[in-house]
Chain A
Amino acid sequence: MEHAMGIFRWIHFMAGVMWIGLLYYFNFVQVAALKNAAADGTAAGISKHVAPRALLFFRWAAVVTWLAGAALLGPRFVPAFTLSGGAELIGIGAWLGTIMLFNVWVLIWPNQKKILGLVPASDAEKNTARRVAFLASRTNTMLSMPMLFFMGVGAHGF
């Protein structure tokens, strides 16, 4: 069982690095780069070739991170999500990660599909989708900071 936990932790870390790494790429790099690229007419390179691929790994890494995290919690899953039984700190991290997973699949990905033209949408719908996806992505960037703090102190103490 110890070995299984080690493997779940390893998977949790690798997928988590990919998820949050791509989240930071979107927020710290791509948003500003797209703005500049749109100004000189080169945005299609990013929106056609980079963004869909980055979003593919981003959304599935989020799922793998959550599942490996749930497996890693094992019998502490319920105490973590009820913020009890000594699992309070990791529980806050788990809740923040869960909210972030929800944002990825319910707010970011469906709206990105409209923005990237993977599903039909009017210009007005695309503008709304752009704003919702942007704010959900920024919210996740904000939430990632306490999430990582509580994952750390939940596992290793202060």
Chain B
Amino acid sequence: MKNPLDSLWGTVISGLILTGVLYVFANHFLVGR
């Protein structure tokens, strides 16, 4: 599989996905524990 960071769009999309994943993680496991 091609590394998504090799393309600019792959990098931006990876950043958006990571933001979403961390947002869900923070809301479920960190905030309001």
Same complex origin of A and B: yes
Which residues on A are within 8 Å of B, measured CB to CB? 27-28, 83, 88-89, 92, 135, 138-139, 141-146, 149-150
A146 touches B19 (CB 8 A): yes
A141 touches B15 (CB 8 A): yes
Residue from A28, A92, A135 within 8 A of B8 (CB atoms): A28
A146 touches B11 (CB 8 A): no
The CA-CA distance from A57 to B19 in the complex, in Å, is 27
Chain A residue nearest in CB terms to B31: A88
The CA-CA distance from A73 to B2 in the complex, in Å, is 39
Interface residues on B, range: 10 to 19
The CA-CA distance from A143 to B21 in the complex, in Å, is 12
A89 touches B26 (CB 8 A): yes
Chain B neighbourhood of A150, CB < 8 A: 22, 26
A141 touches B11 (CB 8 A): yes
The CA-CA distance from A146 to B17 in the complex, in Å, is 9
B 4-33 binary contact with A (CB < 8 Å = 1; else 0): 011010011011101100110010001100
**Chain A nearest Cβ from B25, distance in angstroms:** 8
Chain B neighbourhood of A144, CB < 8 A: 15
A149 touches B23 (CB 8 A): yes
The CA-CA distance from A141 to B23 in the complex, in Å, is 18
A88 touches B30 (CB 8 A): yes
B18 touches A143 (CB 8 A): yes
**Chain B nearest Cβ from A82, distance in angstroms:** 11
Q: A88-B26, A88-B30 in contact; A145/B16 too (CB < 8 A)?
A: yes
A142 touches B31 (CB 8 A): no
Chain B neighbourhood of A138, CB < 8 A: 5-6, 11
What are the 8 A-B residue pairs with the smallest beta carbon separation, nearest first? A145-B15, A138-B5, A88-B30, A146-B19, A142-B15, A142-B14, A146-B22, A138-B11
